[in-house]
């Protein structure tokens, strides 16, 4: 198993990082939080132009994949830049439609995938066993809702609906995350066990890509904090020279470095246990990085004027999205062989 990106994969990540670095992402995030989605949608169109969403779709639908490792690399960069919007949900919708097509339900894929792959529109969705709230339904062109038993399985039947809209927008710890319940009814796109199986796969990809976002977010928080402690002085010396500060930063770095190989392992295997382990570890590492950043920046860290607050507010919602720590921990344990030791832990 290879845990290091190839040269081509690294070049793709550098391209995305360069694009995002020149895109003034903090301004687009603030506009998104204020309800102006124009700059964010324009950024998403440019990201789609790199082939980002096409990495989740097969060539039969003008895609480039599916290539989960490359897509995870891309979402690390999205997390590092703090991009707002239903990026994970759009990619998961592409996976959902792709899987349905693989089970013979091609009509939804032919209808929706072209716009999603070119970045002309975004999608959001809710899946069985996940949150009832769709992310940024007011900005997404398509709001998909899968109704069925949870957790989904190939032996169970479910329905895929195109919701006619969404109910009242709810707030989040991250002002740039709008949550809404998809309205009932709408257009029934597909039904049956194939929808259940496709929803299960889409949920696993959504969790993987959220883990990738968490890793990028944590790295961004650590980098900004390191720069800050080099500049701020106390008692005539940079606070970064103090042993206690060094230890705190070193712990944060170790947490992120431990999460990285788990993310690549999950992208390679796409197994339930590996993906849950990656999400658990990356989510906790990002949240710990946020706590470290806030403590070492002091009160200035949570002021609206400082861009750091845009990353700080994303850490907890991303940690809890598509499976919080307790759910991921349970899924990891459930995936282990039922040895005597495992049975002792679970009972």
Residues 6+ apart with CB under 8 A from 125: 89, 92, 93, 96, 134, 143, 144, 145, 146, 202
Across residues 148-152, what is the average pLDDT? 61
Confidence check: pLDDT of 221 > 70: yes
Confidence check: pLDDT of 185 > 50: yes
Q: What is the pLDDT of residues 35-63, one digit of tens each?
A: 999 999 999 999 999 999 999 999 999 89
Confidence check: pLDDT of 230 > 90: yes
Confidence check: pLDDT of 180 > 70: yes
Q: Comparing C-alpha atoms, which of 101, 75, 97, 73 is closest to residue 88?
A: 75
129 or 240, higher pLDDT: 240
Residues 6+ apart with CB under 8 A from 256: 215, 218, 219, 222, 285, 286, 289
Q: What pLDDT shows up at residue 340?
A: 54
Confidence check: pLDDT of 198 > 50: yes
Across residues 117-136, what is the average pLDDT? 92
Quote the CA–CA distance of 174 and 86 in Å, as a whole number.
13
Average per-residue pLDDT in the chain?
92
Q: What pLDDT shows up at residue 165?
A: 85
Confidence check: pLDDT of 184 > 70: yes
16 or 148, higher pLDDT: 16
Q: Please, which pLDDT band fits residue 149 given cuts at 50, 70 and 90?
A: low
Q: What pLDDT shows up at residue 304?
A: 84
SS3 content of the chain, % helix, strand, coil (to 5): 60, 10, 30
Q: Where are the strands (E) in the chain, listed by range?
A: 123-126, 134-135, 142-148, 158-162, 179-180, 187-192, 233-234, 237-238
Residues 6+ apart with CB under 8 A from 160: 96, 100, 108, 144, 145, 146, 188, 189, 190, 191, 195, 198, 199
Confidence check: pLDDT of 342 > 80: no
Q: What pLDDT shows up at residue 347?
A: 46
Quote the CA–CA distance of 302 and 156 in Å, as a whole number.
46
- Residue 315's Cβ-count burial label (10 Å; 0-12, 13-18, 19+) is buried
Q: What pLDDT shows up at residue 65?
A: 80
Q: Please, which pLDDT band fits residue 1 given cuts at 50, 70 and 90?
A: low
Across residues 181-186, what is the average pLDDT? 89
Q: What per-residue string of b and e applies to 108-127 under the rule 16 or more CB within 10 Å gives b?
A: bbeebbeebbebebbbbbbb
Query: DSSP 3-state assignment of 217?
Result: helix
- Residue 256's Cβ-count burial label (10 Å; 0-12, 13-18, 19+) is buried
pTM: 0.94
């Amino acid at each position: 198993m290879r845990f290091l990106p190839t040269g081509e994969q690294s070049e793709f990540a550098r391209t995305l990082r360069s694009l995002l670095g020149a895109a003034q992402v903090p301004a687009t995030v603030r506009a998104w939080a204020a309800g102006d989605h124009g700059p964010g949608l324009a950024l998403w169109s440019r990201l789609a132009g790199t082939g980002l969403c096409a990495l989740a779709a097969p060539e039969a639908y003008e895609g480039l994949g599916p290539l989960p490792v490359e897509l995870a690399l891309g979402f690390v960069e999205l997390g590092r830049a703090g991009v707002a919007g239903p990026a994970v949900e759009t990619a998961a919708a592409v996976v959902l439609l792709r899987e349905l097509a693989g089970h013979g339900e091609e009509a939804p894929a032919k209808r929706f995938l072209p716009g999603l792959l070119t970045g002309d529109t975004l999608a959001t969705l809710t899946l069985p066993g996940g949150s009832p709230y769709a992310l940024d339904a007011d900005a997404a062109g398509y709001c998909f809702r899968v109704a069925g038993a949870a957790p989904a399985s190939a032996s169970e039947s479910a329905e895929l609906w195109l919701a006619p809209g969404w109910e009242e927008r709810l707030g989040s710890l991250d002002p740039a995350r709008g949550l809404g319940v998809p309205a009932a009814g709408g257009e029934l796109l597909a039904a049956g066990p194939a929808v259940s199986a496709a929803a299960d796969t889409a949920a696993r990809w959504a969790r993987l890509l959220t883990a990738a976002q968490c890793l990028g977010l944590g790295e961004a928080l650590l980098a900004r904090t390191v720069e800050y402690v080099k500049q701020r002085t106390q008692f005539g010396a940079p606070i970064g020279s103090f042993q206690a500060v060094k230890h705190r930063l070193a712990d944060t770095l170790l947490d992120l470095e431990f999460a990285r190989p788990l993310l690549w392992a999950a992208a390679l295997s796409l197994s339930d246990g590996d993906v849950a382990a990656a999400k658990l570890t990356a989510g906790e590492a990002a949240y710990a990085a946020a706590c470290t950043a806030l403590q070492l920046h002091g009160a200035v860290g949570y002021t609206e004027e400082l861009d750091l607050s845009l990353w700080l507010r994303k850490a907890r919602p991303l940690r809890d999205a598509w499976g919080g720590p307790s759910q991921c921990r349970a899924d990891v344990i459930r995936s282990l062989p039922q040895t005597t030791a495992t049975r002792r832990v679970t009972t």
